[in-house]
Chain A
Amino acid sequence: MADEPLVLGIETSCDETGVGIVRGTTLLADAVASSVDEHARFGGVVPEVASRAHLEAMVPTIERALKEAGVSARDLDGIAVTAGPGLAGALLVGVSAAKAYAYALGKPLYGVNHLASHICVDQLEHGPLPEPTMALLVSGGHSSLLLSADITSDVRPLGATIDDAAGEAFDKIARVLNLGFPGGPVIDRYAREGDPSAIAFPRGLTGPRDPAYDFSFSGLKTAVARWIEAKRAAGEEVPVRDVSASFQEAVVDVLTRKAVRACKDEGVDHLMIGGGVAANSRLRALAQERCEAAGIRLRVPRPKLCTDNGAMVAALGAEMVARNRAASDWDLSADSSLPVTDPHVPGTAHSHDHVHETARENLYT
């Protein structure tokens, strides 16, 4: 539909410079420049390296997205940007770019929540999100169970990790096994040839008195590291495939068990899984199996839409436009700890509309 909002989204919360363009729930462009290779030798994302890379990559990535989408910037109905949560300095680069772009083009600006964007991106894959939708977000930065009643205004946190994010655990175990960074894809690969029941690693926070929806991966990480060290100390070879498979099984067992339980407890019949770890093949398979058994419909976007990207920000921005949510003010700031309960950062000042009107008149009228 031509009258669906055409929105450009900018994402810089971590190490990916993402610029996406959507029309309503249709993906038109998903341009990403990653600085992951620059971080690899450090074994994790270095904030200053990421911020420098965002500044370099932003303009070329916007140009690439516009070309890919085959649209003109002046036809956009809005500019959306990740306002948080994320790395403060990295977020600020994206917010600065989005504000300047929106202002110069005379378009409304929407500062949106990174986590809500991870959920909303599934609209580009499977159509409008059912309301409510249960969402399991798992990546190197987050592990959360969220209940989304309205992705533009009502997202409730049910649980989150109390220590490491799921993706971090993958990175750390990969480092113990000397498999490099990032750890997720390589452990997934080794695990396919291993036995997931070879070693009984602990399932964190699954006792009867533990919080039902929170996660913990720190104890698992220590248990796996100890097991490997014991093997090494005994002069035995470490069975990398079996360790990978058993570790991965422990992670995805807990994730899917708690997600399905949350769906049942809340009477929600749709589960979406997003974030970089959603690319894990065993997580997808086990979630599918358990959702089918429980009568829950599983929605997992393709891996490229699960990792951080600009299309997810554009998808949420388009929803904000479609539902007439208030645009953000020109003094929008990056908020590294923006709560998930704020799907976007609406403007407050009355002068806001006035400023936008002025800006709109500035150009192309």
Chain B
Amino acid sequence: MLLLALDTATPAVTVALHDGDDVIASSSQVDARRHGELLLPAVDRVLAEAGLRLDAVTGIVAGTGPGPYTGLRVGLMTADTFGLALGVPVHGVCTLDGLAYAADLEGPFVVATDARRKEVYWARYADSRTRLTDPAVDRPADIAGQVAGLPAVGAGALLYPDTFPKAHEPEHVSAAALARLAAERLAAGEELPAPRPLYLRRPDAQVPKNYKVVTPK
């Protein structure tokens, strides 16, 4: 097994290779506005570091968000197209699950990432492998009651200390964690879902107002 994992749902552009035993190469760069430019060179670098070729990959793992859409799509489109060109399966893993796995916590906690517009993408976890709630997008103040007293990880938690006083690292997801989680689930015989984006919000689309009269009254 050789998994190529990638995630672009947070400000990190992150890529990792997992050979079935463990991660053998990885790269993470934080630059929220250059996902499109950074991803392919990162894949190239990670493969070179491992001394492997892309056609050795037996599966692709892609973080499905939730996350800012434009960046999120860079990773998902890249994963889909690799899958097409190589004829290998593409597995979707929720980006928040990757963060939870990297948090490596025993007790209940919260993962929250920055959803911009003063909101967070978040979910509650029983432990690092068990998500309790569907990923959601909310204003921090509106969920304060639901996350009260719980430790929290992710940039969204670090950004709003009033709601998440017990926030700590990791800030962004890493493809290494995503790859380890996926490898563990696949080894356990689990089926991973198709890599469909978790947008959580409807597209911003204002229906234009009724035709505006231009003749002065």
Contacts and interface: CB of A to CB of B under 8 A. Distances in A.
B77 A332 contact: no
A210 interface: no
A192 interface: no
A92 B203 contact: no
B207 A42 contact: yes
A105 B205 contact: no
Q: Report the interface size class on chain A.
A: 35 or more
B188 interface: no
A361 interface: yes
Interface residues of B, number: 41
Contacts of A89: 69-70, 73
Given A48-B69, A92-B70, A100-B40, A58 B205 contact: no
Contact of B205 (A48, A55, A88, A362): A48
Contact of B214 (A44, A222, A233): A222
Contact of A103 (B44, B74, B84, B205): B44
B54 A104 contact: yes
B207 A96 contact: no
Contact of A51 (B39, B55, B73, B213): B73
Given A59-B80, A63-B84, A333-B37, A225 B214 contact: yes
Contacts of A59: 80-81, 83-84
Secondary structure of the B contact surface, majority rule: helix
Secondary structure of the A contact surface, majority rule: helix
A331 interface: yes
A39 to B, nearest CB: 9
B146 interface: no
B61 to A, nearest CB: 15
B54 A96 contact: no
Contacts of B214: 222, 225-226, 229
B55 to A, nearest CB: 5
Interface string A263-284: 0000000000000000000000
Contacts of A337: none
Nearest to A230: B215
A99 B53 contact: no
Contact of B77 (A58, A104, A358): A58
B76 interface: yes
A49 B203 contact: yes
Contact of A42 (B36, B43, B76, B205): B205
A51 B81 contact: no
A27 to B, nearest CB: 22
A272 to B, nearest CB: 32
B207 A362 contact: no
Given A55-B77, A55-B197, A73 B213 contact: no
B78 A96 contact: yes
A101 B87 CA distance: 12
A44 B81 contact: no
Which of the listed residues B40, B69, B80, B211 has the most CB atoms from chain A within 10 Å of its own CB? B40
Interface string A183-204: 0000000000000000000000
Interface in A97-150: 97, 99-101, 103-105
A51 B70 contact: yes
A176 interface: yes
B115 to A, nearest CB: 15
B203 A96 contact: no
A97 B81 contact: yes
Interface string B45-59: 001100001110000
B85 to A, nearest CB: 3
Contacts of A358: 44, 48
10 contacts: A49-B203, A52-B69, A52-B199, A62-B84, A89-B70, A96-B81, A103-B54, A104-B86, A233-B215, A358-B44
Interface of B: 34, 36-41, 43-44, 47-48, 53-55, 69-70, 73-74, 76-86, 197, 199, 203-208, 211, 213-215
Given A49-B203, A49-B205, A104-B55, 18 more contacts: A42-B205, A42-B208, A46-B203, A48-B204, A51-B70, A55-B76, A89-B73, A92-B70, A96-B78, A97-B78, A225-B214, A226-B215, A229-B213, A229-B214, A233-B215, A331-B40, A332-B37, A363-B55
